[in-house]
Protein backbone atom coordinates (compact mmCIF):
# COMPACT_ATOMS: atom_id res chain seq x y z
CA UNK A 1 0.00 0.00 0.00
CA UNK A 2 1.23 3.47 -0.84
CA UNK A 3 0.62 6.67 1.03
CA UNK A 4 -2.59 7.71 -0.71
CA UNK A 5 -2.08 10.63 -3.04
CA UNK A 6 -4.85 13.14 -3.49
CA UNK A 7 -5.50 15.95 -5.89
CA UNK A 8 -5.40 15.96 -9.69
CA UNK A 9 -4.49 12.74 -11.47
CA UNK A 10 -2.79 12.32 -14.83
CA UNK A 11 -4.18 8.92 -15.88
CA UNK A 12 -6.35 5.97 -14.88
CA UNK A 13 -5.28 2.46 -15.84
CA UNK A 14 -7.49 -0.62 -15.63
CA UNK A 15 -7.00 -4.34 -15.54
CA UNK A 16 -9.13 -5.89 -18.30
CA UNK A 17 -10.94 -9.14 -17.43
CA UNK A 18 -13.07 -8.76 -14.31
CA UNK A 19 -12.27 -5.08 -13.82
CA UNK A 20 -13.17 -3.11 -16.92
CA UNK A 21 -14.88 -5.76 -19.05
CA UNK A 22 -17.06 -8.66 -17.98
CA UNK A 23 -15.60 -11.33 -20.25
CA UNK A 24 -16.85 -14.25 -18.16
CA UNK A 25 -20.07 -14.86 -20.18
CA UNK A 26 -18.03 -15.70 -23.27
CA UNK A 27 -15.76 -18.01 -21.27
CA UNK A 28 -18.80 -19.72 -19.75
CA UNK A 29 -20.19 -20.23 -23.25
CA UNK A 30 -16.93 -21.63 -24.62
CA UNK A 31 -16.24 -23.92 -21.67
CA UNK A 32 -19.70 -25.41 -21.83
CA UNK A 33 -19.55 -25.86 -25.61
CA UNK A 34 -16.40 -27.93 -25.11
CA UNK A 35 -18.01 -29.93 -22.32
CA UNK A 36 -21.02 -30.55 -24.53
CA UNK A 37 -18.74 -32.06 -27.18
CA UNK A 38 -17.65 -34.59 -24.53
CA UNK A 39 -21.25 -35.23 -23.46
CA UNK A 40 -20.65 -33.50 -20.12
CA UNK A 41 -23.30 -31.35 -18.44
CA UNK A 42 -22.78 -27.56 -18.38
CA UNK A 43 -20.96 -25.96 -15.48
CA UNK A 44 -22.72 -23.27 -13.46
CA UNK A 45 -21.65 -19.79 -14.51
CA UNK A 46 -20.35 -18.76 -11.04
CA UNK A 47 -17.89 -21.67 -11.04
CA UNK A 48 -16.42 -20.55 -14.34
CA UNK A 49 -16.45 -16.85 -13.43
CA UNK A 50 -14.31 -17.48 -10.36
CA UNK A 51 -11.55 -19.00 -12.52
CA UNK A 52 -11.45 -16.50 -15.40
CA UNK A 53 -8.73 -14.34 -13.83
CA UNK A 54 -6.61 -17.45 -13.36
CA UNK A 55 -6.44 -17.99 -17.11
CA UNK A 56 -7.36 -20.57 -19.72
CA UNK A 57 -5.29 -23.30 -18.09
CA UNK A 58 -7.30 -23.00 -14.90
CA UNK A 59 -10.50 -23.24 -16.94
CA UNK A 60 -9.34 -26.51 -18.51
CA UNK A 61 -8.53 -27.90 -15.08
CA UNK A 62 -11.96 -26.87 -13.85
CA UNK A 63 -13.87 -28.14 -16.88
CA UNK A 64 -12.11 -31.44 -17.46
CA UNK A 65 -10.27 -32.22 -14.22
CA UNK A 66 -7.02 -32.17 -16.16
CA UNK A 67 -3.77 -30.71 -14.90
CA UNK A 68 -1.11 -29.19 -17.11
CA UNK A 69 1.18 -31.94 -18.37
CA UNK A 70 -1.49 -34.63 -18.29
CA UNK A 71 -2.64 -36.36 -21.47
CA UNK A 72 -5.22 -34.32 -23.34
CA UNK A 73 -4.57 -31.05 -21.51
CA UNK A 74 -2.74 -29.27 -24.34
CA UNK A 75 -5.34 -30.34 -26.92
CA UNK A 76 -8.23 -29.10 -24.78
CA UNK A 77 -6.43 -25.85 -24.07
CA UNK A 78 -5.92 -25.15 -27.77
CA UNK A 79 -9.55 -26.01 -28.53
CA UNK A 80 -10.72 -23.57 -25.88
CA UNK A 81 -8.45 -20.77 -27.13
CA UNK A 82 -9.44 -21.29 -30.75
CA UNK A 83 -13.14 -21.31 -29.91
CA UNK A 84 -12.78 -18.21 -27.74
CA UNK A 85 -10.85 -16.31 -30.42
CA UNK A 86 -13.47 -17.09 -33.06
CA UNK A 87 -16.08 -14.94 -31.30
CA UNK A 88 -14.74 -13.41 -28.12
CA UNK A 89 -17.00 -10.34 -27.89
CA UNK A 90 -20.35 -12.06 -28.34
CA UNK A 91 -21.53 -11.66 -24.75
CA UNK A 92 -18.75 -9.63 -23.12
CA UNK A 93 -19.43 -6.02 -22.12
CA UNK A 94 -18.21 -3.19 -19.94
CA UNK A 95 -19.29 -3.59 -16.34
CA UNK A 96 -22.32 -1.53 -15.37
CA UNK A 97 -21.60 2.17 -15.10
CA UNK A 98 -18.07 2.04 -16.49
CA UNK A 99 -18.96 3.42 -19.92
CA UNK A 100 -20.26 6.55 -18.19
CA UNK A 101 -17.14 6.72 -16.02
CA UNK A 102 -14.88 6.48 -19.08
CA UNK A 103 -16.84 9.29 -20.72
CA UNK A 104 -16.24 11.45 -17.64
CA UNK A 105 -12.48 10.84 -17.90
CA UNK A 106 -12.57 11.60 -21.62
CA UNK A 107 -14.49 14.83 -21.06
CA UNK A 108 -11.80 15.95 -18.62
CA UNK A 109 -8.99 14.92 -21.00
CA UNK A 110 -7.70 12.37 -18.49
CA UNK A 111 -6.24 9.48 -20.48
CA UNK A 112 -7.29 5.98 -19.53
CA UNK A 113 -5.65 2.73 -20.52
CA UNK A 114 -5.48 -1.01 -19.99
CA UNK A 115 -2.71 -3.07 -18.44
CA UNK A 116 -3.54 -6.75 -18.68
CA UNK A 117 -2.02 -10.21 -18.59
CA UNK A 118 -4.32 -11.16 -21.47
CA UNK A 119 -2.26 -11.70 -24.67
CA UNK A 120 -2.65 -9.10 -27.40
CA UNK A 121 -4.04 -11.79 -29.75
CA UNK A 122 -7.22 -11.78 -27.66
CA UNK A 123 -7.13 -8.26 -26.22
CA UNK A 124 -7.17 -6.31 -29.48
CA UNK A 125 -10.20 -8.02 -31.11
CA UNK A 126 -12.09 -7.77 -27.82
CA UNK A 127 -11.52 -4.01 -27.65
CA UNK A 128 -12.39 -3.65 -31.33
CA UNK A 129 -15.56 -5.66 -30.84
CA UNK A 130 -16.68 -3.40 -28.00
CA UNK A 131 -15.67 -0.16 -29.79
CA UNK A 132 -13.09 0.68 -27.14
CA UNK A 133 -9.88 0.53 -29.16
CA UNK A 134 -10.05 4.14 -30.36
CA UNK A 135 -11.03 5.46 -26.93
CA UNK A 136 -8.20 3.79 -25.04
CA UNK A 137 -4.94 5.75 -24.78
CA UNK A 138 -2.64 2.79 -24.12
CA UNK A 139 -2.88 -1.00 -23.98
CA UNK A 140 -0.06 -3.01 -22.42
CA UNK A 141 -0.18 -6.80 -22.79
CA UNK A 142 2.29 -9.47 -21.66
CA UNK A 143 3.62 -9.53 -25.24
CA UNK A 144 5.05 -6.06 -24.62
CA UNK A 145 7.08 -6.68 -21.48
CA UNK A 146 9.76 -8.90 -20.01
CA UNK A 147 7.90 -9.28 -16.71
CA UNK A 148 4.10 -9.35 -16.51
CA UNK A 149 2.02 -8.46 -13.45
CA UNK A 150 2.57 -8.61 -10.48
CA UNK A 151 5.86 -7.03 -11.62
CA UNK A 152 5.61 -3.21 -11.95
CA UNK A 153 7.10 -3.17 -15.48
CA UNK A 154 3.76 -3.17 -17.39
CA UNK A 155 2.38 -0.25 -15.40
CA UNK A 156 5.57 1.76 -15.61
CA UNK A 157 5.63 1.15 -19.37
CA UNK A 158 2.05 2.37 -19.68
CA UNK A 159 2.75 5.51 -17.69
CA UNK A 160 5.82 6.30 -19.78
CA UNK A 161 3.91 5.76 -23.04
CA UNK A 162 1.27 8.34 -22.14
CA UNK A 163 3.67 10.66 -20.28
CA UNK A 164 1.91 10.19 -16.94
CA UNK A 165 3.66 10.41 -13.58
CA UNK A 166 3.22 6.99 -11.88
CA UNK A 167 2.61 8.79 -8.59
CA UNK A 168 -0.35 10.59 -10.18
CA UNK A 169 -1.77 7.50 -11.89
CA UNK A 170 -4.51 5.21 -10.57
CA UNK A 171 -4.55 1.48 -11.22
CA UNK A 172 -7.83 -0.39 -10.86
CA UNK A 173 -7.87 -4.18 -10.56
CA UNK A 174 -9.75 -7.22 -9.27
CA UNK A 175 -6.82 -9.46 -8.32
CA UNK A 176 -4.07 -9.30 -5.72
CA UNK A 177 -1.45 -9.31 -8.49
CA UNK A 178 -2.99 -6.10 -9.89
CA UNK A 179 -2.63 -4.37 -6.55
CA UNK A 180 0.89 -5.70 -6.03
CA UNK A 181 1.90 -4.44 -9.46
CA UNK A 182 0.33 -1.03 -8.87
CA UNK A 183 1.87 -0.65 -5.43
CA UNK A 184 5.32 -1.54 -6.77
CA UNK A 185 4.88 1.01 -9.57
CA UNK A 186 3.94 3.66 -6.96
CA UNK A 187 0.47 4.06 -8.44
CA UNK A 188 -2.54 4.67 -6.23
CA UNK A 189 -4.28 1.29 -6.24
CA UNK A 190 -8.00 0.55 -6.29
CA UNK A 191 -9.33 -2.96 -5.69
CA UNK A 192 -12.81 -3.63 -7.08
CA UNK A 193 -14.98 -6.34 -5.58
CA UNK A 194 -17.19 -6.89 -8.64
CA UNK A 195 -14.56 -8.94 -10.46
CA UNK A 196 -13.53 -12.57 -10.64
CA UNK A 197 -12.47 -13.14 -7.06
CA UNK A 198 -11.93 -16.63 -5.70
CA UNK A 199 -14.39 -17.72 -3.04
CA UNK A 200 -13.03 -17.02 0.41
CA UNK A 201 -10.43 -14.50 -0.78
CA UNK A 202 -10.34 -11.35 1.34
CA UNK A 203 -9.90 -8.18 -0.73
CA UNK A 204 -9.03 -6.32 2.48
CA UNK A 205 -5.74 -8.23 2.63
CA UNK A 206 -4.50 -7.04 -0.77
CA UNK A 207 -3.03 -3.77 0.58
CA UNK A 208 -4.94 -1.62 -1.89
CA UNK A 209 -5.20 2.10 -1.24
CA UNK A 210 -8.96 1.90 -1.84
CA UNK A 211 -11.57 -0.88 -2.00
CA UNK A 212 -14.57 -0.16 -4.21
CA UNK A 213 -17.78 -2.14 -4.66
CA UNK A 214 -19.67 -0.30 -7.42
CA UNK A 215 -18.94 1.95 -10.38
CA UNK A 216 -20.82 4.72 -8.57
CA UNK A 217 -18.41 4.44 -5.64
CA UNK A 218 -15.48 4.55 -8.05
CA UNK A 219 -16.75 7.74 -9.67
CA UNK A 220 -17.31 9.33 -6.26
CA UNK A 221 -13.75 8.42 -5.27
CA UNK A 222 -12.44 10.08 -8.44
CA UNK A 223 -14.53 13.19 -7.76
CA UNK A 224 -13.92 13.53 -4.02
CA UNK A 225 -10.29 12.43 -3.75
CA UNK A 226 -8.75 13.02 -7.15
CA UNK A 227 -10.52 16.20 -8.34
CA UNK A 228 -12.24 14.60 -11.35
CA UNK A 229 -15.34 16.61 -12.25
CA UNK A 230 -18.67 14.81 -12.55
CA UNK A 231 -20.33 14.40 -15.93
CA UNK A 232 -21.54 17.68 -17.43
CA UNK A 233 -19.08 19.82 -15.46
CA UNK A 234 -15.85 21.38 -16.67
CA UNK A 235 -12.88 21.50 -14.33
CA UNK A 236 -11.59 24.55 -16.17
CA UNK A 237 -14.83 26.51 -15.79
Residue 70 lies inside a defined structural domain of this protein: yes
Angle 158-8-138 from CA coordinates, rounded to 5°:
20
Q: Does 53 share its domain with 147?
A: no
* Verdict on whether the full-model pTM lies above 0.95: no
In a domain, residue 164? The reply is yes
Last residue of a domain, one of 86, 115, 130: 86
Same domain, 125 and 209: yes
Query: 29 with 65, same domain?
Result: yes
More confident residue, 163 or 235: 163
Average pLDDT over residues 66-75: 96
Domain end (from 86, 119, 136): 86
| Pair (136, 32) in one structural domain | no
- If asked whether residues 113 and 197 sit together in one domain, one would say yes
Is 3 within a domain?
no
Our count of domains for the chain comes to: 2
Q: At what angle do helices 73-86 and 56-64 cross, to 10 degrees?
A: 120
| Neighbour-count burial for 5-29, b at 16+ CB within 10 Å, e otherwise | beeebbbbbbbbbbbbbbbbbbbbb
Do 208 and 173 share a structural domain? yes
Average pLDDT, rounded, for the chain: 94
Are 59 and 105 within one domain?
no
Judge if 97 and 67 occupy the same domain.
no
The residue length of the chain stands at: 237
Residue 148: pLDDT over 50:
yes
Segment 184-228, tens digit of pLDDT: 999 999 999 999 988 888 999 999 999 999 999 999 999 999 989
Domain annotation covers residue 231: no
132 and 212 within one domain: yes
Cβ neighbours of residue 129 closer than 8 Å, sequence gap 6 or more: 88, 89, 92
Model confidence over 27-61: pLDDT tens digits?
999 999 999 999 999 999 999 998 988 889 999 99
Is residue 105 domain-shared with residue 72, that is, in the same domain?
no
Domain around 62: 24-86
Q: Domain check: are 175 and 211 in the same one?
A: yes
Whether residues 17 and 32 share a domain: the answer is no
Q: In this structure, is residue 4 part of a structural domain?
A: no
Asked whether residue 235 is domain-assigned, the answer is no
What is the 3 state secondary structure string of 47-91? HHHHHHCCCHHHHHHHHHCCCCCCCCHHHHHHHHHHHHHHCCCCC
Residues with active-site annotation:
15, 17
Does some domain include residue 78?
yes
Q: What residues contact residue 170 under an 8 Å CB cut-off, 6+ apart?
A: 9, 11, 12, 13, 187, 188, 189, 190, 222, 226
Amino acid sequence: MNSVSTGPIEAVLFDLDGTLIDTAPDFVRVVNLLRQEDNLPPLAAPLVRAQVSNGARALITLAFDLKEGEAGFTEKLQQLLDLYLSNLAEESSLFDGLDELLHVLEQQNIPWGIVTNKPRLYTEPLLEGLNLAERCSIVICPDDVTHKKPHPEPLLMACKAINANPNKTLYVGDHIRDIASGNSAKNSTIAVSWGYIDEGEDVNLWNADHIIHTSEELLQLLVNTYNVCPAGENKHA
